[in-house]
Amino acid sequence: MSQKQKKDYVRGQEPAPSLLNHYRGHRGSINSIAFHPNLETVYSAGTDGFIMSWNFRRETRALRFEGHEKPVNEVALSKDGDLMISASDDSTVRIWVPIIKGDFLSLKAHSAAVQSACFNPVETSQFATCSNDKSVKLWSVQRFKTKANTTKFRSHEFIASFSNHTNWVRSVRYSRDGRLLCTASDDKTIRVFDLRSNSCTHTLTCDAGAPTKADFNPCGGYYIGVSTTAHSFLLYDARMEKLLQSYTNLNDGPVNDFAFHPDGDFAVTVSEDAKIKILDLVEGRPIFTLYGPRTGVLATAFSPDGKLFATGGKDRELLIWEPVLLPYSEDEIATDSNKENSSGASKASERASVAGTESRNISRSGSKTSASSRQTIHSIS
């Protein structure tokens, strides 16, 4: 959708997100989703142990990456999309060159299932992992180009380990400048690590159940979003160790995953109750509820340009959505902030507590889709 088209919409009267495509190919639940920076490909990881690569061009066949011996919990791409990382219940992490016959590197990163892994957005040779062994680890990978201009891996190196958590660590994410890590654990804490000192600098206690994921807001700073098992989504200022927004009772089941829009003004959350929520973080309220999936939704991700988002879960189906989200200008955000300050109360928190009745409900039957979008599977050995 062009920027000109977006300018024709009035905030609060945007059309509902439309369903552009759906893909099937996994033999189990979809646990994780990642868009390639080229905006033409999306990856999904599943309990079947496979990673699928789906291309939006219908004439292009899907690819399947094999190698893990147990469910794959997460898949992520480097900033340029030239490397892919996967984390699995088989205690290993794999680094891939995500092309046909591309090289890969497998390492036993932990002594238990690896729940999450991601690349440093600045130093893309570095990556972080976390596990059911309660630890968080930092690594680096060395690669080189052959005479045929193909990428090969030379080795990997362990950098550091953090053992501050007292229970399984569910997610790990870098800040946008690559200097911080945030982690979410079943011990009901979110921790922030400063990689310059390799120390834990801030600890947030989650009172709304156990956190399922934590991530930095793209707007920068110490703003961290958290999804929880207690049907909630929370937004913190980690530097002040302060809760800014609390979307309690957002769903009728655990919020399994969320994704920030690249502008940081919006978030998509997905839940065990099969509902997809779109949140306006500036106004502090949900604006859409989507009912596309047939059962619990486990994963979601925005495309790098924010024009699309994807969802997947227990029905084994990957759905591609096109929302119309109008980014806020700095003047709009300043005006909204001044209104809240003058009221003497956090309007965002008030809205969030009753927001379940404020969003527009959209069913899958009202969205467009096409059976011809289903793709065949090509296996990579």
**The pLDDT value given to residue 292:** 86
| Distance in angstroms (rounded) separating the CA atoms of residues 217 and 300 | 15
201 alpha-carbon distance from chain centroid: 24
The answer to whether the Cα torsion of 16, 22, 27, 30 is positive or negative is negative
Percent helix, strand, coil in the chain, to 5, is 10, 45, 45
Between 116-125, 240-249, 366-375, the lowest mean confidence (pLDDT) is in 366-375
| Distance in angstroms (rounded) separating the CA atoms of residues 300 and 319 | 9
**The pLDDT value given to residue 81:** 95
**The pLDDT value given to residue 1:** 46
Between 52-61, 130-139, 234-243, 292-301, the lowest mean confidence (pLDDT) is in 52-61
| Distance in angstroms (rounded) separating the CA atoms of residues 217 and 239 | 13
Per-residue pLDDT tens over the stretch 265-284: 999 999 999 999 999 999 99
Rounded to whole angstroms, the maximal C-alpha distance in the chain is: 66
Mean pLDDT of 294-316: 97
| Distance in angstroms (rounded) separating the CA atoms of residues 219 and 229 | 25
**The pLDDT value given to residue 376:** 27
Strands 377-380 and 297-302: unpaired
| Distance in angstroms (rounded) separating the CA atoms of residues 97 and 357 | 45
Mean pLDDT of 40-53: 97
| Distance in angstroms (rounded) separating the CA atoms of residues 72 and 50 | 7
Query: H/E element holding 189?
Result: strand 189-194
Angle, CA of 282, 288 and 290, to the nearest 5°: 145
Average pLDDT, the chain: 87
Per-residue pLDDT tens over the stretch 161-180: 999 999 999 999 999 999 99
Cβ pair 196, 140 in contact under 8 A: no
Between 5-14, 25-34, 74-83, the lowest mean confidence (pLDDT) is in 5-14
- DSSP string covering 250-283, please? -SSS-EEEEEE-TTSSEEEEEETTS-EEEEETTT
pLDDT confidence tier of residue 6, bands split at 50, 70 and 90:
low
| Phi-psi group of 178: left, alpha or beta (phi > 0 → left; psi -120 to 50 → alpha; rest → beta) | left
Does residue 214 or residue 12 have the better pLDDT?
Answer: 214
Cβ pair 319, 270 in contact under 8 A: no
Mean pLDDT of 194-207: 96
Share of the chain above pLDDT 70, in %: 85
Angle between the N-to-C axes of helices 347-354 and 330-343, in degrees from 0 to 180, rounded to the nearest 10: 90
Query: H/E element holding 297?
Result: strand 297-302
Task: Give the length of the chain.
Answer: 381
Strand partners, 311: 300, 319
Of 80, 193, 95, give the one whose Cα is nearest residue 136.
Answer: 193
Is the per-residue pLDDT at 157 higher than 70?
A: yes
Per-residue pLDDT tens over the stretch 247-270: 999 999 999 999 999 999 999 999
- 149: exposed, middle or buried (C-beta count within 10 Å: 0-12, 13-18, 19+)? exposed
Cβ pair 219, 174 in contact under 8 A: no
- DSSP string covering 193-233, please? EETTTTEEEEEEE--SS-EEEEEE-TT-TTEEEEEETTS-E
**The pLDDT value given to residue 295:** 96
Cβ pair 258, 251 in contact under 8 A: no
The pTM for the full model equals 0.87
**The pLDDT value given to residue 2:** 44
**The pLDDT value given to residue 132:** 98
Q: If you search the block for the tokens 């400048």, which residue do you land on?
A: 177
Enumerate domains of the chain plus CATH numbers. Answer: 18-323 (2.130.10.10)
Cβ pair 6, 307 in contact under 8 A: no
CA within 13 Å, CB half, 47: 12
| Distance in angstroms (rounded) separating the CA atoms of residues 365 and 167 | 42
CA within 13 Å, CB half, 152: 8
Angle, CA of 158, 163 and 169, to the nearest 5°: 95
Cβ pair 246, 353 in contact under 8 A: yes
Is the per-residue pLDDT at 377 higher than 50?
A: no
